[in-house]
Amino acid sequence: MLLSTPARWSWLPAVLLLTTASVTTSCYKLRGHYGGPKSFEAAARPVNAADVAVPKGYKVEAVAQGLTYPTAVAFDDKGTAYVLEAGYAYGEVWTAPRLLRLEADGSTKEIYVGSKNGPWNGFVYHQGNFYIAEGGELEGGRILRVSPQGQMTVLVDKLPSYGDHHTDTPAIGPDGYLYFGQGGATNSGVVGPDNAEFGWLPRHPDFHDIPCRDIVLSGENFISDNPLTEAKDDKATTGPYLPFGMASTKGQVIKGQVPCTGAIMRVPLQGGPVELVAWGLRNPYGLAFAPDGRLFTTDNGYDTRGSRPGYGAGDVLWEIKPGTWYGWPDYSAGQPMNTSDYETPKRDPKFILAQHPQTPPKPAAIFGVHSSSNGFDFSRSAAFGHVGEAFVAQFGDMAPNVGRVYGPVGYKIVRTNVQTGAIEDFVVNKGRTNGPSSEIGRAGLERPVAARFSPDGRSLYVVDFGQMPMTEQGPSPRKKTGVIWKITKE
Amino acid sequence: MNHLLKSVALLAGLGLAACSTARRSEPLRAAALPTSDAVVRGHLVFMENCQKCHPGGEAGAGPSLNNVPLPGWALRSRVRHRAFFLGVGRMPSFKENEISDPQLDDLVAYMKALRRADPARELTSGPVRNPR
């Protein structure tokens, strides 16, 4: 038909050419690397609040600059702000983790310096002490109690934190316990070459995910390159919840233990045994109690990487209920992963558990795929508005290493209605497209990683980790580019 | 063939529209969205099913939506049929038990309202990317 009526279809080649050209060269181009070559050196970061958009009636200002990998802000009982510097960042860079007091003029005073065991991912102040979640990439995760005078005691140690994700943000519950998240070792339960790229597999070749309760494996195994040997074309077969290179068998039971990975746990403030709260999570980074006392966590969704990639998995806000299993490593946001919705060129992620502890609950909200939705806090004051909504910091994607995206995802603060699941931008860079300032030619946000309201509820403090472009050599976190932003209602 | 023609034409329109800004979120738009019942309901349908790949209708794991002038029938068809754009892309289809027909009507009302919301030009201009 096409060939028999050439005049009628003469426009088709032009349209096809135009379509092809626009799709391949226009704004639909998939996101690639930028910012190379990889470097950790301090960078000159322009900071200008005029490049940041907030809703009408609010104002934004930068209150501290030049921080190295800041990850959290907290306030003492006088309302003085303190900041954490992580001491470790993806890309494998180590600095001194520090607890800093933020002075009124934007300078900082060192309160306590930790050891080479970051990343420090979050902290709270409670009844005269700081409680810090030490990520524990080298020596295992710890919960540290630090006095305002800088005396430190270890509340919890030997947490399973040597992997992709670490010991995460703590929160003090109304029951007087300290609650904290523990991230998983891997993307989806199977150790593979992607974990060597993170840097930890050669350091801890026996490390793997640890279930909190007994699980039964389906017998799925995964063949991958072996990054632990020099031999070319060397392959390894690995099963879930097992060390790299160890295959599983159908019906194999993996004994549960606590502490475990991918879980919310708690410990008495005076110290004591770690107790399990909830499990089946991937990386429960942010943790906060809502004004009504309910506990919520942000959970980073699966990446398209490694031996068992998944596609299209959004980050999630969960309401945490004791004893609940939330679906990792076989469900995403409450949906089973063994469908074409999550398939990759490696085919559907098949179930790796023979039985599931329960059907996972429905999330409170689903954030953008690869948005890295992390630290958050609830508004409690009418003076700020949106009381009861969660203000979530989105670190931003690490594409293309974690999967493909058509445009930058995250790099902003969103407010989230935990009753309806509705998500709205609240603090975001100006410009024709979204993205980190260093990529879109602005002087606003880079990578927001945490958000917390001041004790009076009138101001939202946003912790901006700083510049971290994804270069062809991997993440490139630049020292002394961290910023603290403050948003208030006018 | 008719389906092929429509798809090609839509792909061409989609490509041509791609570089206009898709930003419509609260801090960046010139005026509030309409508050009709359908738009309010459609907002929640969008959040549950679309937001994760098209956050706020902008690009993410999927392409941007707010700057794509698709008519309502095309939006409905794409939501229901994975192969709508000649099989291009990997967005899943949504069956009636996932998004009912009334919900789909609400979703389309919301997507159109979001598309028609004017972005504040002084806040949404500049280069697409300008890495330092």
On whether residue B17 sits in a domain, the answer given is yes
CATH number at residue B32: 2.60.40.420
Neighbour tally for B93: CB within 10 Å: 16
On whether residue B127 sits in a domain, the answer given is no
Structure tokens at B104: 């789909």
Cβ distance A430 to B28 less than 8 Å, yes or no, reads yes
CATH number of the domain located at residue range(s) A31-489 in this protein: 2.120.10.30
Q: Looking at beta carbons, which residues of chain A come within 8 Å of B47?
A: 365-366, 420-423
Which of B16, B48, B52 to mutate against chain A (most A CBs within 10 Å)?
B52
On whether residue B78 sits in a domain, the answer given is yes
Tell me the shortest Cα–Cα distance from B25 to chain A, in angstroms. 6
Q: Looking at beta carbons, which residues of chain B come within 8 Å of A340?
A: 92
On whether residue B38 sits in a domain, the answer given is yes
Task: Say which DSSP state A40 is in.
Answer: -
Tell me the shortest Cα–Cα distance from B88 to chain A, in angstroms. 11
Structure tokens at A106: 């934007």
pLDDT of residue A3: 35
pLDDT of residue A144: 98
pLDDT of residue A7: 46
Cβ distance B64 to A311 less than 8 Å, yes or no, reads no
Cβ neighbours of residue A182 under 8 Å, at least 6 residues apart? A141, A159, A160, A161, A167, A168, A259, A260, A261, A262, A263, A264, A265, A284
Cα(B122)–Cα(B111) distance, integer angstroms? 23
Cα(first)–Cα(last) distance of chain A, in Å? 66
Q: Looking at beta carbons, which residues of chain B come within 8 Å of A12?
A: 8
Residue B2 has pLDDT above 90, yes or no: no
Q: What is the ipTM, given to two decimal places?
A: 0.92
pLDDT of residue A34: 86
Total domains, chain B: 1
Q: Looking at beta carbons, which residues of chain B come within 8 Å of A18?
A: 12, 15-16
Q: Looking at beta carbons, which residues of chain B come within 8 Å of A22?
A: 12, 15-16, 18
> Which of A23, A427, A439 minimises the CB distance to B15?
A23
Q: What is the 3-state secondary structure (H, E, C) of B33-91?
A: CCCCHHHHHHHHHHHHHCCCCCHHHCCCCCCCCCCCCCCHHHHHHHHHCCCCCCCCCCC
Cβ distance A432 to B123 less than 8 Å, yes or no, reads no
Instruction: Give, in order, the Cα–Cα distances in Å from A474 to each of A283, A409, B100, B125.
Output: 20, 18, 43, 30
Q: Looking at beta carbons, which residues of chain B come within 8 Å of A435?
A: 129
Answer whether 0.90 is exceeded by the pTM: yes
- CB contact at 8 A, A378 and A338: no
User: What percentage of chain B's residues is helix, strand, coil (to nearest 5)?
Assistant: 45, 0, 55
> Which of B44, B60, B130 minimises the CB distance to A441?
B130
Top pLDDT among B7 and A50 is at A50
Cβ distance A366 to B19 less than 8 Å, yes or no, reads no
Which of A425, A439, A478 to mutate against chain B (most B CBs within 10 Å)?
A425
pLDDT of residue A347: 78
Strand partners, B17: none
Cβ distance B11 to A26 less than 8 Å, yes or no, reads no
- CB contact at 8 A, A15 and B9: yes
Q: What are phi and psi of B61, to 5 degrees?
A: -65, -25
Strands A141-146, A152-159: pairing is antiparallel
pLDDT of residue A28: 65
How many degrees, rounded to 5, is the angle at CA A207 between CA A469 and CA A269?
85
Coil, helix or strand for B104?
A: helix
pLDDT in tens, B47-66: 999 999 999 999 999 999 99
Cα(A296)–Cα(A371) distance, integer angstroms? 18
Ramachandran assignment for A261, one of left (phi > 0), alpha (psi -120 to 50 degrees), beta (any other) = beta
pLDDT of residue A343: 86
pLDDT of residue A1: 31
Structure tokens at A374: 């992390």
Q: Looking at beta carbons, which residues of chain A come within 8 Å of B7?
A: none
pLDDT in tens, B80-116: 987 666 656 788 899 999 999 999 999 999 999 999 9
Cα(first)–Cα(last) distance of chain B, in Å? 47
Q: Looking at beta carbons, which residues of chain A come within 8 Å of B14?
A: 23
Cβ distance B64 to A370 less than 8 Å, yes or no, reads no
The B-side interface with A (CB below 8 A) comprises 1, 8-9, 11-12, 14-16, 18-19, 21-23, 25-28, 43-44, 47-48, 51-53, 55-56, 58-64, 90, 92, 123-132
- CB contact at 8 A, A143 and A137: no
On whether residue B131 sits in a domain, the answer given is no
> Which of A422, A431, A442 minimises the CB distance to B47?
A422
Taking only Cα atoms into account, the Rg of chain A, rounded to an integer number of angstroms, comes to 23
Interface size A-B, in CB pairs within 8 Å, comes to 165
Cα(A155)–Cα(A271) distance, integer angstroms? 5
pLDDT of residue A207: 98
Sign, CA dihedral A412-A84-A95-A64, equals: positive
On whether residue B73 sits in a domain, the answer given is yes
Cα(A192)–Cα(A125) distance, integer angstroms? 38
Tell me the shortest Cα–Cα distance from B81 to chain A, in angstroms. 13
> Which of A34, A311, A425 minimises the CB distance to B27?
A425
Residue B11 has pLDDT above 70, yes or no: no
- CB contact at 8 A, A221 and A342: no
Cβ distance B28 to A428 less than 8 Å, yes or no, reads yes
Q: Residue holding tokens 């600095």?
A: A95
Tell me the shortest Cα–Cα distance from B41 to chain A, in angstroms. 11
Cα(B91)–Cα(B42) distance, integer angstroms? 19
- CB contact at 8 A, A413 and A451: yes
Cβ neighbours of residue A219 under 8 Å, at least 6 residues apart? A239, A248, A249, A250, A251, A252, A354
On whether residue B121 sits in a domain, the answer given is no
Cα(A121)–Cα(A404) distance, integer angstroms? 26
Distance of CA B12 to the CA centre of its chain: 16
Q: What are phi and psi of B46, to 5 degrees?
A: -60, -45
Structural domain for B36, as ranges? 2-116
Cβ distance B63 to A28 less than 8 Å, yes or no, reads yes
pLDDT < 50 stretches in chain A: 1-7, 11, 14, 17-18, 21, 23-26
Neighbour tally for A135: CB within 10 Å: 27
On whether residue B83 sits in a domain, the answer given is yes
Instruction: Give, in order, the Cα–Cα distances in Å from B79 to each of A39, A433, B49, B101, B107.
Output: 43, 25, 10, 11, 10
Cβ distance A441 to B51 less than 8 Å, yes or no, reads no
Half-sphere exposure of A11 (CA within 13 A, CB side): 5
Q: Residue holding tokens 């038909």?
A: A1
Cα(A469)–Cα(A477) distance, integer angstroms? 7
Q: Residue holding tokens 């603060």?
A: A413
